Amino acid sequence: MKNIMLVCAAGMSTSLLVTKMQKAAEGQNLAADIFAISESEVDSTLERKDIDVLLLGPQVRYLKGPFEAKYKAKNFPIEVINMSDYGMMNGEKVLQHALNLIG
């Protein structure tokens, strides 16, 4: 089971992308928990849930450095979603990028 967390300003704009990523994961018979939250929910979510990768929406790219410092001990990759993939809501490409980061 891969746990993929997407973070955006309000947790709303990434919900369509999550749906498309879930559909892509189903097409690959991949067991994945893909979900989106707002930046304000990150701490509480990480207290109760382990994740494999954290993807930031382009609108919150400024959080990458602070999040890398804050969650370094948790040892998961943090990356900004490619702006064109995000804009096109390309769930397949974003999922593949997440899986590549997980390794």
Q: Distance between CA atoms of 96 and 61, rounded to whole angstroms?
A: 19
What span, in angstroms and rounded, lies between the C-alpha atoms of 32 and 35?
A: 10
Residues in the chain: 103
Active site residue 8: yes
* Secondary structure of residue 103 in the 3-state scheme: coil
Q: Which of 5, 6, 7, 8 is catalytic?
A: 8
Active site positions, annotated: 8
